[in-house]
């Protein structure tokens, strides 16, 4: 599949993050809970290797709770602080803030060890991630809770402001933008299925068929799918994903003249339902 992604964007994004990361103590890496691997660009581990890090699995309301729990364990087993959130839930925003504050204490302990004198430092936090994972939502929600803006710090472009989260923590109000890594097997498709890539640039029918195949592989998701579109298990026994998509389109009245199914429309219906959680809480990657 051909996904347009211009190298120029990548270079710019990388330079932007490099410029800002020097000022940062704590990086909050936001991933999509449904696809923690495909929504991660590992370059952040390199760029932020000397920083303290928190992984936030966002959009947990759309992901499979059992898989999310396993992912949290996975990150924690790799010595990475990890929480799962739904950023429209104020309690989850509080959890992010509390976790940042805890992490600030770790930074403090490190600095005290190195500097060997007591002081009252400010820890600077960056929210980073690929497009559409929810960075701006999280920043805006944290900003609403902590509406004091701090004056500009040197070395940061004028548009960047710091949000005072507590007496020791400043959050940069502009997220660190990473690009999705599309080189990995199927990462681009999974990003499309979760709505992290604009579908205008994709072959909708192929993506939809791939999505249907993924769901049918897991009994639990297959049941959700059949239930959602009122399809009988026996009726799809001998059908491939394209035929199933056609059946779905027929059930949903996606028709063109002559009674044929409008496959583009059927693809759109399925993809919108999947990414918005209308089929159910579904994770596309498991640990």
Ligand X SMILES: Nc1nc2c(ncn2[C@@H]2O[C@H](COP(=O)(O)OP(=O)(O)O)[C@@H](O)[C@H]2O)c(=O)[nH]1
Binding stretches for ligand X (CB under 6 A): 58-59, 61-62, 86-88, 129, 131-137, 175
- The DSSP secondary-structure symbol of 151 reads P
Task: Enter the tokens of residue 126.
Answer: 């960056």
Task: Enter the tokens of residue 58.
Answer: 């966002």
Q: Does 137 bind Mg ion (CB under 5 A)?
A: no
Question: Which is closer to ligand X, CB of 103 or CB of 281?
Answer: 281
Least distance from ligand X to the Cβ atom of residue 33, Å: 8
- The DSSP secondary-structure symbol of 152 reads P
Q: Contact 205/263 with Cβ under 8 angstroms? A: yes
Least distance from ligand X to the Cβ atom of residue 138, Å: 7
Least distance from ligand X to the Cβ atom of residue 284, Å: 15
Least distance from Mg ion to the Cβ atom of residue 142, Å: 14
- Of ligand X, Mg ion, none, which one sits near residue 180, judging by CB under 5 to 8 A according to partner kind? none
Stretch that binds Mg ion, among 2-10, 58-66, 132-140, 185-193 (CB under 5 A): 132-140
Q: How many residues sit close enough to Mg ion to count as binding (CB under 5 A)?
A: 1
Question: Integer distance in angstroms from the first to the last C-alpha of the chain?
Answer: 25
Least distance from ligand X to the Cβ atom of residue 247, Å: 28
Task: Enter the tokens of residue 111.
Answer: 């600095």
Q: Does 160 bind Mg ion (CB under 5 A)?
A: no
Question: Which is closer to ligand X, CB of 99 or CB of 132?
Answer: 132
Question: Which is closer to Mg ion, CB of 107 or CB of 130?
Answer: 130
Question: Which is closer to Mg ion, CB of 136 or CB of 268?
Answer: 136
Question: Which is closer to Mg ion, CB of 136 or CB of 206?
Answer: 136
Q: CA-to-CA distance for 15 and 32, rounded, in angstroms?
A: 23
Least distance from ligand X to the Cβ atom of residue 176, Å: 10
Alpha helices in the chain (DSSP H): 7-21, 43-47, 65-77, 90-115, 135-145, 187-193, 204-217, 219-228, 241-251, 263-275
Q: Does 186 bind Mg ion (CB under 5 A)?
A: no
Instruction: Please enumerate in sequence order all residues whose Cβ is within 8 A of that of 75, keeping only pairs 6 or more positions apart, or say none.
Output: 55, 81, 82
Question: Which is closer to ligand X, CB of 175 or CB of 180?
Answer: 175
Q: CA-to-CA distance for 283 and 59, rounded, in angstroms?
A: 11
Q: Does 14 bind Mg ion (CB under 5 A)?
A: no
Instruction: Please enumerate in sequence order all residues whose Cβ is within 8 A of that of 39, keeping only pairs 6 or more positions apart, or say none.
Output: 31, 32, 129, 130, 133, 180, 191, 194, 196
Q: Contact 215/279 with Cβ under 8 angstroms? A: yes
Stretch that binds Mg ion, among 92-100, 135-143, 155-163, 238-246 (CB under 5 A): 135-143
Least distance from Mg ion to the Cβ atom of residue 132, Å: 8
Q: Which of 14, 80, 86, 136 binds Mg ion (CB under 5 A)?
A: 136
Token pair 């959602």 in the structure block, residue = 228
Q: Which chain residues interact with Mg ion by CB under 5 A?
A: 136
């Amino acid at each position: 599949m051909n996904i347009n992604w211009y190298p120029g964007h990548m270079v710019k994004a990388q330079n932007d993050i490099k410029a800002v990361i020097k000022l940062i103590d704590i990086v909050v890496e936001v991933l999509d809970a449904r696809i923690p691997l495909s929504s991660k660009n590992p370059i952040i581990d390199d760029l932020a290797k000397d920083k303290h890090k928190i992984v936030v699995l966002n959009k947990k309301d759309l992901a499979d709770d059992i898989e999310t729990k396993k992912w949290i364990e996975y990150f924690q087993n790799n010595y990475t602080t990890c929480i799962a959130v739904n950023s429209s839930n104020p309690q989850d925003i509080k959890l992010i803030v509390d976790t940042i504050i805890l992490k600030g204490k770790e930074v403090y302990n490190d600095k005290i060890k190195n500097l060997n004198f007591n002081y009252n430092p400010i820890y600077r936090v960056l929210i980073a991630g690929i497009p559409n994972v929810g960075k701006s939502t999280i920043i805006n929600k944290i900003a609403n809770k902590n509406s004091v803006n701090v004056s500009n710090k040197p070395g940061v472009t004028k548009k960047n402001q710091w949000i005072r989260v507590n007496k020791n923590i400043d959050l940069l109000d502009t997220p660190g933008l990473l690009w999705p890594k599309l080189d990995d097997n199927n990462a681009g498709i999974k990003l499309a299925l979760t709505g992290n890539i604009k579908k205008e640039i994709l072959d909708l029918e192929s993506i939809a068929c791939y999505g249907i195949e993924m769901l049918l592989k897991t009994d639990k998701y297959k049941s959700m799918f059949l239930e959602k579109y009122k399809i009988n298990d026996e009726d799809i026994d001998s059908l491939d994903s394209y035929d199933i998509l056609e059946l779905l389109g027929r059930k949903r009245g996606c028709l063109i003249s002559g009674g044929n199914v409008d496959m583009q429309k059927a693809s759109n219906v399925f993809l919108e339902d999947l990414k918005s959680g209308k089929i159910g809480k579904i994770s596309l990657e498991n640990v």
